[in-house]
Chain A
Amino acid sequence: MNRRRVSYFEASARVRVHGLVDENSFVELCPAELRKTSPHLASLDAPLAFDDGVVVGRATLAGSAILIAAQEGRFNGGSVGEVHGAKIRGLLELALLTKPVAVLLLVDSGGVRLQEANAGLIAISEIMRAVLKGQSAGIPVFALIGGSCGAFGGMGIVARLCNEIVMSEQGRLGLSGPEVIETVKGVEEFDSRDRALVWRITGGKIRRTLGEATRLVDDLIPAFRDAATRLLARYVELPPVTLDDLQQAQHRLTERTGRFAEVSDGQQIWQQIFSESAGIAGLTVSDFNRLLGDQP
C-alpha cells in the first residue's frame, strides 16, 4: 500500500527519530526496557512512561555520526523531569567523548515538569550548560521544532542556545506559553484561545521572519531530514565564539527591540518588513521561503 507522506507534527518521538536518521542506523541509549522511569511521578501514583518521555541515542545522518534526542510531546506535554533531563544532558556530555558531527535535539516540550519542579529546573540548567560545553568543544547543536507542544519554558531557552533552529509552520517557540501569559496577565494581554494569534506570535513563520529560526520547512519528516542534512554540511568546523560575535548579536537584538517596540502582533512585523501582511500567514512554506530569499 502506498504510504502517505508522514507528518512530523503527528508522529511520535520514536517515529520522528527513525524517519530522520539513516535507515537502521539508530541505536537507542538507555532504552525503554531498562525502565528508567520517573521516581517523582511514581511517588504521586501518576502514569509513567518507560522512557520518561524522551528517546536518546546515536545514529548517522547522510553517513555522518550524530547524537539525537527526541522529546515525546504527548507524554505530560514533553515536560522535563529529573530522568528525562538527565537523559538529554547525558547525551550532550557523551558528545564530548564521541565527537559526533552534531547533536540534534527534537524539542517538543512545554518546559519543566511541574510535578518535579526543582529537579526539572536543575535538569534544564544542566542541559543548557552541556549545550554550551559541546559547542565550545566544536560540536554544533541543532534544535528541530515541529511538534504539538512547541518549545517553551526552559526548552525554549535551550533551543535558543542552539546553533541552528529548524521549524515547521506548526512549530512554536517562546518562553512563557500563551496559557501561562493569559493566566498571569489576563485575556486582554494574550488570548490563548485565539489560535491564529498564538501562531502569529510564536509560530514557525514569525520566528523565521525574525531570524530566530534559521530554516522553515514543511511539516514532513523528510523535510526536517533534508534541512538538518544541509545544515550539517555547513558545520565541518565550528569556529569558536568570539567577543565580536556576541557584541554583534547584542547589537542586532537592541536594534530589533527598537524597531518593533510598539508591535503586538506578528502581522505588524510582516507589514513593516514586506509592506504586506494579510497573505503571509496563508503562504505555503516554499512561497514564504522564496519571499524571504531562503534557499530550500
Chain B
Amino acid sequence: MTAKCWDKLARNRAERLARAQTLVRGRLVAANDIVALFEALIEPGDRVCIEGNNQKQADFLARSLVKTDPAKLRDLHLVQSVLALPEHIDLIERGQVSRIDFSFSGPQAARLARLVEAKKITIGAIHTYLELFGRYFVDLTPRVALIAAHSADREGNLYTGPNTEDTPAIVEATAFKGGIVIAQVNEIVDKLPRVDIPADWVNYVVEAPTPNHIEPLFTRDPAQITEIQVLMGMIAIKGLYAEYGIKRLNHGIGFDTAAIELLLPTYAAELGLKGKICTHWALNPHPTLIPAIEAGFVESVHCFGSEVGMERYTAARPDIFFIGADGSMRSNRAFSQAAGHYACDLFIGSTLQIDLQANSSTATLDRIAGFGGAPNMGADARGRRHASPAWLRAGREGRGEIAMPRGQKLVVQIVETFREHMQPTFVERLDAWELATTASMELPPVMIYGEDLTHIITEEGIANLLLCRSPAEREQAIRGVAGYTPVGMARDTAMVENLRDRGIIRRAEDLGIRKCEATRDLLAARSIKELVLASEGLYDPPGQFRNW
C-alpha cells in the first residue's frame, strides 16, 4: 500500500516553477520572457484570475496571455471580478478559455453576449463581488493569479497603494492554496513606500513596458447634472436622509447620487443636517464628494478602490480616508464590500428597469453586464446584530408590530421615470427574463430583488415600500411614482391618493420642496474646475475632464 500523498498541490507547483527556472532571475522576469513563462507555468484546465478590477487592470499580462500558443494553453477557466479588457474576450474567441465565473463585464458586455449565444463559452455564474471572493476560498480558488501592482522592490514585495482593490483577496486565496502569483508592476524600485503584499506570497514580478491602465470610473462631471436630478436629490435628502437620520451609507456611481453629494454643503446644510446625516461612508473617493468633505459634513470614507486624480487629495485628508504610514491611501474591495453590506444603514443607486414587484435590473437583451457590488450593498444584511436609529425605524416600518425587535437596511433606487430616448424605467416585465432564456441562465440577472428594496425615488416623489401592507398596495405605490410611463398611467388614482394620504407616497410638495428651488445653482460645484478649487488644488482631474 502506498503512503497517501497530502501535498500534491505543492508538488505540482514546484514542478511548474522548475519548468520556469531558465526564464527567471530570482523573482524577476523580463517582459520579453513573459509569454514563454506563461507557457511553462500554466497547464490546460487551470483556473486563472487575470486581475481585472473596477479600475486597475493587469493589462500587460492579459495582452501577453493572448500571445500564448492556443495548443498549449487551453480549456482555461477564468475566475475574476471584471472582464473589462478586449483581451479577456479575445482569449475566449481564440478558444483558450472555455468557462468563466465573474462579476461584471461592463465595456465587453455586448461581445460576451454574442459569444454566449454562439455557445463559445460557458458562464458558471455572474456573481456579486463578495460572493466571488467567497468562492475563491471555497471552490473557485485560482491556480494562477496574474495581478497588477504599482511597484515592487527587488525581493518581490509589492506596493499596490491607493488602487489596492481586489489584490489582497486574490493573492491570499492563490498563494495559500498551492497556486502561483505573477505580478506586473509599473516600476521596480529599491525601496517601496510601504508593503501591501509581502514577497513570499508572490512568485514572479515583471516590469510592464507601460503602466497599468486605470479607468476613471467614478468621476461625474457636475456640468452634466440636470435640474431633475437636483430635484430628486432634494427629495432624497429631505424625505429620506433627514427623516431616518442616515449617517452611514453607500452611494451608487450615477449622476443622481452625485447630485446628492453636491447638495450636502448647500441644501442639506441649509436644512441644518450637518453632522446629522452622511457622516460615514463606504465609497470610492468620488470627486463630487470633495465639497461635502471640505464643508465638514464627512467624518470617514473607506474605499473599494481609488479614483484617478484623487491621490493627492485623499493623502492630504488622513482624518477622512484610510491612509498608510507612507501617507498614501489604501483601498480594499472585499473589506469595503463587507462594510457596505453590514455597517451601512442605506444603499442608494440607480438602475435601468424596475418591475411591479420592485425587482430591478441593468440587464438588457444584447448585453451581459453583470452586477459588481450593488447587490451586496443593496440587500438587507440578515446577519446584522447591531442597532442604529435608521435601521430600527426601517425595521419597525417594514415588519410592523412584532414581538422581536429587528431592524432593516434601507435600500433605495433613485431613477427618472423615463431614461434617454423616452425609454420607460418602469416596466411590467424585466428584460432580464428574456436574457436569461437566450443565454441559458438559471436565474434572470436581477440587480436588487423587490423584497430588499425599501424606497423608490423619482421626480414624482418617494414611494415607501416598507409601509405597504399588501402586494396590491406595493404595486400601486410603484405605479404612483412611475409618472407618465405606461405603468404609471395605469395606476388606480383613488388608491394612489389613499397611499399619499397615509404618507406611503410623498410628492415634492408634501415634503415642502418648491420645484422652483430645484436649479443647478444649488449644486456646491457646477463644473470639474469648481471641484478642483474646492479641493484647494489637490484634485488633479484626468485630461478628458479638463477645459484648462
Contact = CB atoms under 8 A, between A and B. Distances in A.
A–B touching in complex (CB under 8 Å): yes
Interface of A: 1-7, 9-10, 169-170, 194-196, 198-200, 203, 205, 281-282, 284
B327 to A, nearest CB: 23
A198 B547 contact: yes
B274 interface: no
Contacts of B520: 10
A253 B355 CA distance: 66
Given A1-B270, A10-B526, A195 B546 contact: yes
* Interface residue SS majority, chain B: helix
Nearest to B543: A196
B521 interface: yes
A7 B532 CA distance: 16
A200 B266 CA distance: 32
Contact of A6 (B521, B537, B544): B521
A2 B524 CA distance: 12
Nearest to A205: B548
Given A1-B517, A281-B548, 9 more contacts: A2-B270, A3-B521, A7-B526, A9-B527, A170-B547, A195-B547, A196-B547, A200-B548, A284-B533
B522 interface: yes
A199 B548 contact: yes
Given A1-B270, A282-B537, A203 B548 contact: yes
A2 B520 CA distance: 14
B533 A199 contact: no
Contacts of B266: 2, 4
A7 B543 CA distance: 23
A11 to B, nearest CB: 9
Contacts of A2: 266, 270
18 contacts: A1-B270, A1-B517, A3-B521, A4-B266, A4-B521, A5-B521, A6-B521, A7-B521, A9-B527, A194-B543, A195-B546, A196-B547, A199-B547, A199-B548, A203-B547, A203-B548, A282-B532, A282-B537
Interface in B493-548: 517, 520-522, 526-527, 532-533, 537, 543-544, 546-548
Most chain B CB inside 10 Å of its own CB: which residue of A5, A195, A205, A281: A195
Nearest to B528: A195
B56 to A, nearest CB: 25
B160 to A, nearest CB: 29
Which of B526, B527, B546, B547 gathers the greatest number of chain A CB atoms within 10 Å? B547
A2 to B, nearest CB: 6
Given A3-B521, A282-B537, A196 B546 contact: yes
B531 to A, nearest CB: 13
B191 to A, nearest CB: 29
A196 B545 CA distance: 9
Nearest to A148: B223
Contacts of A6: 521
Contacts of A169: 548
A121 to B, nearest CB: 30
Contacts of B533: 284
A272 B416 CA distance: 51
Contacts of A10: 520-521, 526
A198 B522 CA distance: 29
B185 to A, nearest CB: 28
Nearest to B522: A4
A170 B548 CA distance: 9
A282 B548 contact: yes
B26 to A, nearest CB: 40
* Top 4 A-B pairs, shortest CB-CB distance: A195-B547, A281-B548, A4-B521, A196-B546
Contacts of B543: 194, 196
Contacts of B547: 170, 195-196, 198-199, 203
Contacts of A1: 270, 517
Nearest to A284: B533
Nearest to B266: A4
A196 B527 CA distance: 14
Contacts of A170: 547
A238 to B, nearest CB: 35
Nearest to A4: B521
A9 B521 CA distance: 11
Nearest to A193: B544
A194 B543 CA distance: 8
A48 to B, nearest CB: 22
Nearest to A2: B270
A1 B537 CA distance: 29
A1 B522 CA distance: 10
B535 to A, nearest CB: 12
A203 B543 CA distance: 16
| Residue among B522, B533, B548 with max Cβ neighbours from chain A (10 Å) | B548
A1 B266 CA distance: 10
A194 B546 CA distance: 9
A60 to B, nearest CB: 25
Contacts of B532: 282
B381 to A, nearest CB: 37
Interface string B120-137: 000000000000000000
Contacts of B537: 282
Contacts of B546: 195-196
Contacts of A196: 543, 546-548
Contacts of A3: 521
B216 to A, nearest CB: 15
Contacts of B522: 4
Interface string B253-269: 00000000000001000
A252 B547 CA distance: 29
A75 to B, nearest CB: 17
A281 B527 CA distance: 16
Contacts of B521: 3-7, 10
A275 to B, nearest CB: 20
A7 B526 CA distance: 9
Contacts of A7: 521, 526
A194 B266 CA distance: 32
Contacts of A198: 547
A216 to B, nearest CB: 13
A7 to B, nearest CB: 6
A281 B543 CA distance: 13
A94 to B, nearest CB: 33
Nearest to A5: B521
Contacts of B527: 9
Contacts of A284: 533
B47 to A, nearest CB: 41
B294 to A, nearest CB: 15
A170 B537 CA distance: 18
A146 to B, nearest CB: 13
A259 to B, nearest CB: 24
Nearest to B521: A4
A6 B546 CA distance: 21
A146 B145 CA distance: 53
Interface in B213-268: 266
Contacts of B270: 1-2
A162 B520 CA distance: 32
Interface string B378-392: 000000000000000
A3 B517 CA distance: 9
